[in-house]
Chains A and B, each alone.
Chain A
Amino acid sequence: MVAALLVGMAQGFAIAPERSVVQIYIFMQKPDWTAPWRYDPVQSASGSGFVIKGKRIMTNAHVVSWSRQIIVRKYQDPKPYLARVEFIGHDCDLAVLKVEDESFFADVPALDFGALPQVRSTVVTYGYPAGGREISYTRGVVSRIEMNTYSHIGNRRLLSVQTDAAINPGNSGGPVVQDERVVGVAFQGIQGLENTGFFIPPPIVERFLKDIADGQYDSVPLAGINLVALQNPDYRAKLQLPDNNSGARVDLIRPQSPASAVLQFDDVILRAGPYPVANDGTILYEGNRVSSAVAFQLHQSGDTLPVEIWRDGAAQTVTLQVAAPKDDQAQGNQFDVRPRYYIFGGLVFTPLTLDYLRDADRSGTRGGLADLNYELFYHAREDPETAPKEPVVLSNILNAPVNATFLVREATLVTRINGVVIERLTDVVRAFESSTQTYDVIGLGKHGTFETLNHAEAVRANAQILKTYGVPQDRNL
């Protein structure tokens, strides 16, 4: 009986889902953020995807990031088809591809999306794990639904679903299916945890598809606030708030966000849109208790929603606009953009980013990284008035006679040039190009270190240095 039921179930999924699941091969090339004009060797990788309406293939952003060439293969069809990225959302780790030869879609049905699956319900993942040529199925249950860090970008926490169905490298981008409908896109696991995989649920996917409907991707919006639990009865009493299960406290407001014009420190969020906010900062979403951030991040950037708050001992409703932040890219992983840099006299300047820190650490850069880590992640929060808008580092030095006596050789924050405070990379360019001094004085690091460069000699040497080191241009701004 059990065996028959299993067979029946297998047949019940029919052939349709797997016919719509594709294998994606990519050839990619990542830049070296410490030598930002240079790219690493081309690497190949593979992932999964599936056909959706509109003659599109959906997959993960991380499957196709930094791609030089994308090839897709249909189920049991050896023919390679060239594809390209149509839209990509690195924050939600989703992308849609177009295939050059539209005949690709002729005999491939588009999969439909279902609703957010229930916890404990069964799902099946489809994909091509470990690079195998045959499709693989794994079955599991939905273990829980909650917010998780999306590791592709690294600095976003979005709704995700945990399952005990095996999700391995190569599964990425493949559909998670329930009742012949896609209820998720497989995307990540956690090293060291067995039987734990994660997929991106339909609300995030639908938000992405709606976002790109106008022809551009605007990113996942945030409320622009940090909410913290408000469970201590004395804190609630101080805010004259009833000691019940309702309301979480606004503990931090991003200065550049629309929320800064509407909300105040110590406001208590009682309701976000239609969702009552509990005193632990969660909402009940589709039967799952998840962070109240979900109530904001399923909107489109620029949307407004009513937010009921508690302020000065009374409830009131304000209209909050959600927006995709544009000031925190440097703190997350960046993709598909050429690193920015400027070279003068062999000195390589680049904005301080997480990618730079990672590559500098990997390349064995000595010292200085603690200063940069502080600068990237702490300085602006603790002391916004003195923090540069876009910290710039002296990444490394292309050795030449003009800079041979520099003591500082790499990975150091640039503070001033010729007395001018450096707020961003373009300030560096302006400082050197407008200099009329014999010696350019470059302030570096935390304790007033400075180096000096003979300006005229640096100008004369620049072209030869670029040629010697095979740098195509002195800048990418």
Chain B
Amino acid sequence: MKLLLSLALLPWLLLPTSGLAAGPRSGWEKSVVRIEVSHNVYDYYQPWNRRSETVSKTGVVVGKTQILTTAENLSDRTLIRVQAGGRGAWANATVVWVDYYANLAVLTTPAPDFWSGLKPVTIPAKPSFKKDGLQILRWREGKLESRQAEFSQFAVRKGRLSDINQVFLEASSEIQAAGDSEPVVSGSQLVGLVIEQSGRNCKILPGAFLHMILSAHARAHAQAPRLGYFHFYWQPAENTDSLAYLGLPGKPRGVLVIEVSPRLDGQPNVLQPQDIILQIDNFDIDMQGDYADPDYGLLMLENLATRNRWAGDAVHMKIWRTGQVHDVIYRLPQYDFTNSLVPAGVFDQPADYLIVGGLVFQPLTVPYLQRWGGDRGRNALFRLNYYREDEATKARPSLVILSQVLPDRFNIGYQEYRGLVVEKINGQTVHHLSQIQAALEKPTGPFHVIDFVPNETVQRVVIAAGEREQTATARVLENFGISAAAQITPQPATAN
């Protein structure tokens, strides 16, 4: 009995030690705040279902009444609360702005008591911290946990919420389950915010990037600029025969442009396949595709699309084409989730769907594919996943799938159809749920004819149009406890 009691006590005895602050008060207690976000989470397998989830994260006071945090989990928020000092009263907060592309947001609270005693931090525009003194901070059990982190490198990686390539700081730490916007500090300086942890490796949005986004929003308020990206494909020029084939004299350098998609914003393409990019904004590009960044050292050229640059900005490039050096101005296209045929992110909107006689149509999105989970999803839905490789085009801006069929006498024979990409309805090409609605307004006689992209299951289904369809839809909604036949977010007026 005594032994059992001892064992039962052991975790309780150990826990506080593992979460306690590592040292005496550092001053960061006045700048780091706890954030609690309640938000809707949508079940993309049954898109009419939602549940509420509450998550904790961390923020940093960056202005008189402003808290900086990451944008993750702020989508479709229902309640945000903030707490100063790691304990005591919570104050309701609101979002001043959120930028899902940059994965940053600023919160505030009207509660006057909240701000008393808090101290905003300043974020330098350039990295100038001591690499051997990094600490990761967060509130745990009323105390500020401080964990040492060891600098690894600056590297260009895709973002957590978007596919934008940008510079990240990578550091190794023993901290557990970080990635919820924990500040990384060096002495009195904010170095960055942790957005992800894999093993010991922490991926950190660097301070200079935070500074850039904060400054832009401070200047522009609601019309803050958006991030841009390089929309062309390139490859390193390590194959020196390729450089010789293209006639580039001198030492091997530059990268090879290999594919340039038509731009969705209507801007002309200034690059073409087999161009060699030699310089971007006066930075020499080496044959691996890196440039020497004055702040970060060697970085992949993709970072030059976000290094003090915004969508629409002119990027100066020096290229080699048909035996000559040319100077071209590349206008950065705006990054948008809908630039991909399968959008990587869906934010601040419910999961879209349309139910017609039990046939459930949904946009093909990454959140839908993620609902299937891991390897099982990848195997079962290989073809749908493979669409993620494709960019949106004007001819094919997005995809709609018949995701499932809710069984009803109306749709008998179709109950097992799922995951089929819709090509046409009643002869009209459809890419969006609103186009399905429009196509259903013009039935093929007394029927709706639904054609799918060629697949191994079925190429076409036919259902009745008109009253029987409407009756069946109403019956399905009632039988399955679904409150509405459709949730359709309007399309943007113009494509980016």
A430 at interface (Cβ–Cβ under 8 A)? Answer: no
Residue among B239, B412, B454, B455 making CB contact with A232, cutoff 8 Å: B412
| With known contacts A405-B241, A448-B273, A381–B454 Cβ distance under 8 A | yes
| With known contacts A232-B414, A381-B455, A447-B259, A452–B462 Cβ distance under 8 A | no
> Within B391-434, which residues are at the interface with A (CB < 8 Å)?
410-414
Q: Which of A177-185, A223-231, A311-319 interfaces with chain B?
A: A223-231
Q: Which of B146-154, B220-228, B381-389 interfaces with chain A?
A: B381-389
Q: Is B235 in contact with A452, judged by CB distance below 8 angstroms? A: no
Residue among B240, B273, B456, B462 making CB contact with A235, cutoff 8 Å: B462
Q: Is A407 in contact with B459, judged by CB distance below 8 angstroms? A: no
Q: Which of A61-69, A160-168, A370-378 interfaces with chain B?
A: A370-378
A466 at interface (Cβ–Cβ under 8 A)? Answer: no
Chain A residues with CB below 8 A from B328, complex form: none
Q: Is B241 in contact with A448, judged by CB distance below 8 angstroms? A: no
| With known contacts A449-B235, A452-B242, A251–B458 Cβ distance under 8 A | yes
B47 at interface (Cβ–Cβ under 8 A)? Answer: no
B159 at interface (Cβ–Cβ under 8 A)? Answer: no
Q: Is B459 in contact with A251, judged by CB distance below 8 angstroms? A: yes
Tell me the complex Cα distance, A452–B238, Å: 11
> Within A418-477, which residues are at the interface with B (CB < 8 Å)?
438-439, 441, 446-454
What distance in Å separates the Cβ of B432 from its nearest Cβ neighbour in chain A? 20
What distance in Å separates the Cβ of A394 from its nearest Cβ neighbour in chain B? 13
Q: Is B241 in contact with A373, judged by CB distance below 8 angstroms? A: no
Tell me the complex Cα distance, A374–B390, Å: 13
Q: Is A234 in contact with B463, judged by CB distance below 8 angstroms? A: yes
B236 at interface (Cβ–Cβ under 8 A)? Answer: yes
Q: Digit string of B243-256 for contact with A (CB within 8 Å is 1, else 0)?
A: 01100000000001
Q: Is B460 in contact with A251, judged by CB distance below 8 angstroms? A: yes
> Within A232-279, which residues are at the interface with B (CB < 8 Å)?
232-235, 237-238, 251-252, 265-266
What distance in Å separates the Cβ of B230 from its nearest Cβ neighbour in chain A? 13
What distance in Å separates the Cβ of A156 from its nearest Cβ neighbour in chain B? 14
Q: Is B447 in contact with A238, judged by CB distance below 8 angstroms? A: yes
B347 at interface (Cβ–Cβ under 8 A)? Answer: no
Q: Is B447 in contact with A252, judged by CB distance below 8 angstroms? A: no
Q: Is B413 in contact with A235, judged by CB distance below 8 angstroms? A: yes
In the complex, the chain A residue whose C-beta lies closest to that of B416 is A229
Q: Is B453 in contact with A382, judged by CB distance below 8 angstroms? A: yes
Tell me the complex Cα distance, A448–B413, Å: 43
Chain A residues with CB below 8 A from B462, complex form: 232, 234-235, 238
Q: Digit string of B445-472 for contact with A (CB within 8 Å is 1, else 0)?
A: 1110100011110111111100010000
Q: Is B245 in contact with A452, judged by CB distance below 8 angstroms? A: yes
Tell me the complex Cα distance, A10–B242, Å: 77
| With known contacts A405-B240, A448-B273, A231–B258 Cβ distance under 8 A | no
Q: Is A453 in contact with B241, judged by CB distance below 8 angstroms? A: yes
Chain A residues with CB below 8 A from B455, complex form: 381
What distance in Å separates the Cβ of B26 from its nearest Cβ neighbour in chain A? 45
Chain B residues with CB below 8 A from A238, complex form: 444-445, 447, 449, 462
Q: At the interface, is chain B mostly helix, strand, loop or mixed?
A: mixed
Q: Is A265 in contact with B459, judged by CB distance below 8 angstroms? A: yes
What distance in Å separates the Cβ of A310 from its nearest Cβ neighbour in chain B? 15
What distance in Å separates the Cβ of B257 from its nearest Cβ neighbour in chain A? 9
Residue among B235, B239, B386, B453 making CB contact with A405, cutoff 8 Å: B239
Number of A-B contacts (CB under 8 A): 96
In the complex, the chain A residue whose C-beta lies closest to that of B448 is A234
Chain A residues with CB below 8 A from B458, complex form: 228, 251
Residue among A229, A441, A446, A450 making CB contact with B389, cutoff 8 Å: A446
A406 at interface (Cβ–Cβ under 8 A)? Answer: yes
| With known contacts A452-B241, A453-B241, A378–B383 Cβ distance under 8 A | yes
Tell me the complex Cα distance, A452–B468, Å: 62
What distance in Å separates the Cβ of B84 from its nearest Cβ neighbour in chain A? 48
What distance in Å separates the Cβ of B22 from its nearest Cβ neighbour in chain A? 40
Interface size class of B (residues with CB under 8 A): 35 or more
In the complex, the chain B residue whose C-beta lies closest to that of A381 is B454
Tell me the complex Cα distance, A199–B414, Å: 32
Tell me the complex Cα distance, A446–B386, Å: 12
Chain B residues with CB below 8 A from A233, complex form: 412
In the complex, the chain A residue whose C-beta lies closest to that of B258 is A448
In the complex, the chain B residue whose C-beta lies closest to that of A279 is B413
Chain A residues with CB below 8 A from B414, complex form: 232
Chain B residues with CB below 8 A from A235, complex form: 413, 461-463
Chain B residues with CB below 8 A from A382, complex form: 453-454
Tell me the complex Cα distance, A450–B80, Å: 51
What distance in Å separates the Cβ of B482 from its nearest Cβ neighbour in chain A? 22
Tell me the complex Cα distance, A252–B256, Å: 42
In the complex, the chain A residue whose C-beta lies closest to that of B235 is A449
Q: Digit string of A374-412 for contact with B (CB within 8 Å is 1, else 0)?
A: 100010011000000000000000000000011100000
What distance in Å separates the Cβ of A446 from its nearest Cβ neighbour in chain B? 7
Tell me the complex Cα distance, A452–B247, Å: 12
Chain A residues with CB below 8 A from B454, complex form: 252, 381-382
| With known contacts A230-B413, A449-B258, A252–B459 Cβ distance under 8 A | yes
Q: Is A231 in contact with B239, judged by CB distance below 8 angstroms? A: no
Q: Is B259 in contact with A407, judged by CB distance below 8 angstroms? A: no
Q: Is A407 in contact with B238, judged by CB distance below 8 angstroms? A: yes
What distance in Å separates the Cβ of A75 from its nearest Cβ neighbour in chain B? 45
Q: Is A232 in contact with B258, judged by CB distance below 8 angstroms? A: no
Q: Is B245 in contact with A448, judged by CB distance below 8 angstroms? A: no
Chain B residues with CB below 8 A from A234, complex form: 410, 447, 462-464, 468
Q: Digit string of A285-322 for contact with B (CB within 8 Å is 1, else 0)?
A: 00000000000000000000000000000000000000
Tell me the complex Cα distance, A235–B359, Å: 15
In the complex, the chain B residue whose C-beta lies closest to that of A378 is B383
Tell me the complex Cα distance, A442–B413, Å: 48
What distance in Å separates the Cβ of B40 from its nearest Cβ neighbour in chain A? 33
| With known contacts A234-B463, A251-B460, A252-B459, A450–B242 Cβ distance under 8 A | yes
What distance in Å separates the Cβ of B248 from its nearest Cβ neighbour in chain A? 12
Tell me the complex Cα distance, A237–B446, Å: 10
Tell me the complex Cα distance, A61–B59, Å: 67
Chain A residues with CB below 8 A from B386, complex form: 370, 373-374, 378
Tell me the complex Cα distance, A215–B389, Å: 49
Q: Is A439 in contact with B245, judged by CB distance below 8 angstroms? A: yes
Chain A residues with CB below 8 A from B413, complex form: 229-232, 235
What distance in Å separates the Cβ of B479 from its nearest Cβ neighbour in chain A? 18
Chain B residues with CB below 8 A from A266, complex form: 460
| With known contacts A265-B459, A381-B455, A407-B235, A447–B245 Cβ distance under 8 A | no
Chain B residues with CB below 8 A from A230, complex form: 413
Tell me the complex Cα distance, A9–B455, Å: 52
What distance in Å separates the Cβ of B487 from its nearest Cβ neighbour in chain A? 26
Chain B residues with CB below 8 A from A448, complex form: 233, 258-259, 273
Chain A residues with CB below 8 A from B236, complex form: 407
In the complex, the chain A residue whose C-beta lies closest to that of B453 is A382
Q: Is B461 in contact with A454, judged by CB distance below 8 angstroms? A: no
What distance in Å separates the Cβ of A452 from its nearest Cβ neighbour in chain B? 4
In the complex, the chain A residue whose C-beta lies closest to that of B244 is A439
Instruction: Pick 28 A–B contacts, CB within 8 A, sort by A.
Output: A228-B458, A230-B413, A231-B412, A234-B463, A234-B464, A237-B447, A237-B464, A238-B444, A238-B445, A238-B447, A265-B459, A373-B386, A381-B455, A382-B453, A407-B235, A407-B239, A439-B242, A439-B245, A441-B245, A448-B259, A448-B273, A449-B235, A450-B242, A450-B258, A451-B239, A451-B242, A454-B241, A454-B244
Residues of B within 8 A of A (CB): 233, 235-236, 238-242, 244-245, 256, 258-259, 273-274, 382-383, 386, 389, 410-414, 444-447, 449, 453-456, 458-464, 468
Residues of A within 8 A of B (CB): 228-235, 237-238, 251-252, 265-266, 370-371, 373-374, 378, 381-382, 405-407, 438-439, 441, 446-454
Further pairs besides A405-B239, A448-B259: 11, Cβ < 8 Å: A228-B458, A232-B462, A370-B389, A378-B383, A407-B236, A439-B241, A439-B242, A439-B244, A451-B241, A452-B245, A454-B244
Closest 7 CB pairs of A and B: A231-B413, A448-B259, A448-B258, A232-B413, A439-B245, A235-B462, A452-B241
